[in-house]
Chains A and B, each alone.
Chain A
Amino acid sequence: MDGFEEIYRQHFGAVFRFAIHCVGRRELAEDLTSEAFLELYRNWARIDASQLPGWLITVVKNRATDHWRRSSREELFANPPAEAQTEFDLRLGGFLLENKALKPPHRACLILRYVHGMNREEIAQKLGLTGNQVKSYLQYGLQLLREELSRNPRKAGQ
């Protein structure tokens, strides 16, 4: 098994990142990544290093496909009738699109909070951040939103 650790270190990052994109849940991405490397370990004798990391990526992709196939559509897609957008939605949407001071993590935190209704702990888990980072991003985003709203106050009747 000479070289296995080197291969692991070389490709772990890319395989994990791909796994995150495939399943979106960090703990599941860990499992898929370890499964891919275990599969490599089992097939070590017949895998050429030039096939990597493609071979590992394919293992992750196949496992992820199986994962989603097993998940019921009802569980994944509640799909209840959505209510019409309110002024808050419109203002939040415009703010997220136009405010240049917001960075991707700020926006992701704000959307997960105010659109997906997640608590800070859930957001931290989802994004791989600490609770304090999420709190800080949300505070900053909320502060900018307030400033935006004060510059363009809500009109009467809206």
Chain B
Amino acid sequence: MSERKNDIGPDEQELLKEFGTSFEALSARHADCPKPELLLASQAGVLDEEMAGSIATHLGKCAFCQILLRDLTEAGLDAARPEEEQRVRRQVLVATAGSAKAQKAGGGILLVWLRRAVPTAALAGIVLAVVVWIRFHQPIGPVPAPATADVQPVKTAAPSVLQWEKLPLKLQASSVLVMRGKPRTAQEKYVAELTGALAPYRDDNFSEAAQKLTKVTQVFPDGVEAQLYLGISQLSLQKNAEAIPPLAKAQQLGPQTFREDATWYLALALQREGNTKQSVAELGKLCQGKSSYSQRACTGVQELSALPVARP
């Protein structure tokens, strides 16, 4: 049963009161109803036998769940919205950017789609989708370090929450707008260079990623993605001092979601370099905010504050 915010209107309250019940009582009474997604899944044949059997039993005795299942199936609510289609397209784009197959195909689907004009009317949707995507695809938990032949990140003993983790690939909205296909603009060149440089990052080859991203930042110093992923790659290689300038630059460039990422990794770089005071200051910024890093940052501040004073 999901947690419900208090958005009950007076008309609803009045009606329920008339029947001597309340929202809480209603929810409690139907707490044995399976989640709607389980009802759907039971029909798609993706549940194990035991669970599918339990749901079938429940459906046999619960009219509400029977109605809901029928309506979820018939309401046509399963069609993708434009922003959902755009998000999927972007996920495919980013994950395939610069791969060997794409290069073999003369740039692959990324460049094919980059060159294709996107209707102007869809642009607003794309920007919105990117903003939403970026907002909701923050890393929420530690991601295991990649197991590759590349140099592996060495985990520090403390603080426990401030560990290196691979940030999933993402681009900011302005980098997506070049999908309109304006030929040979600086922004388009930046995205083309960036996607090539991010390919080894995607494949956990951080050494090559760092080399390529360094070149991109030399040509496009204001490219926030290049600065951010360069810093993260350097960190994965234990080149902590080298990671600080690009991360600081990314933090300065923003926008907010990239600033938060950059701040987190900057705090890690500073901590590894023994600059605990500045690391705590950076974590403090995140701790006061409302990003997905906030909770971990607050814990990091507490843990770092409890450490003996580090070397200057």
Which residues does A use to contact B, with CB under 8 Å?
Answer: 1-2, 4-5, 8, 12-13, 16-18, 20-27, 30-31, 33-34, 37-38, 41-42, 44, 61, 64-65, 67-69, 73, 76-89, 91, 93, 96-97, 103-105, 107-108, 111-112, 114-122, 126-129, 142, 145-146, 149, 154
Contacts and interface: CB of A to CB of B under 8 A. Distances in A.
Chain B contact residues (Cβ within 8 angstroms of A): what range?
A: 35 or more
B32 A80 contact: yes
Nearest to A111: B68
Contacts of A96: 63-64, 67
B117 to A, nearest CB: 13
Specify the main secondary structure of chain A where it touches its partner. Answer: helix
Question: Which of B12, B46, B74, B112 has the largest number of chain A CB atoms within 10 A?
Answer: B46
B19 A18 contact: no
A30 B84 CA distance: 7
B27 interface: yes
Interface in B21-36: 21, 23-36
Contacts of B87: 30
B290 interface: no
B28 A1 contact: no
Interface of B: 1-2, 4-5, 7, 11-12, 15-16, 18-21, 23-41, 43-48, 50-51, 54, 63-64, 67-68, 70-81, 84-85, 87-89, 91-92, 95-96, 101-102, 105, 108-109, 112-113, 116, 136
30 contacts: A1-B101, A8-B89, A8-B92, A16-B88, A23-B37, A24-B39, A24-B41, A34-B92, A41-B109, A61-B45, A64-B44, A64-B46, A65-B47, A73-B50, A79-B32, A81-B32, A83-B29, A85-B29, A86-B25, A96-B67, A104-B71, A111-B64, A116-B30, A116-B35, A117-B2, A120-B7, A121-B7, A128-B77, A128-B81, A142-B11
Nearest to A83: B29
Given A67-B46, A142-B12, 7 more contacts: A1-B109, A41-B101, A61-B44, A80-B32, A87-B19, A89-B29, A115-B68
A126 B68 CA distance: 12
A93 B88 contact: no
B77 A22 contact: no
Closest 5 CB pairs of A and B: A24-B37, A117-B27, A104-B75, A34-B91, A104-B71
Contacts of A30: 84, 87-88, 91
B15 A142 contact: yes
Contacts of B2: 116-118, 122
Contacts, number: 217
A8 B303 CA distance: 48
A13 to B, nearest CB: 6
Contact of A12 (B26, B34, B85): B85
A2 B79 CA distance: 27
B4 A22 contact: no
Nearest to B6: A119
A117 B19 contact: no
Nearest to A79: B32
B26 A119 contact: no
Nearest to A87: B19
A86 to B, nearest CB: 6
A93 B29 contact: no
Contacts of B39: 24
Question: Which of A33, A111, A129 has the largest number of chain B CB atoms within 10 A?
Answer: A111
Contacts of A121: 5, 7
Nearest to A112: B36
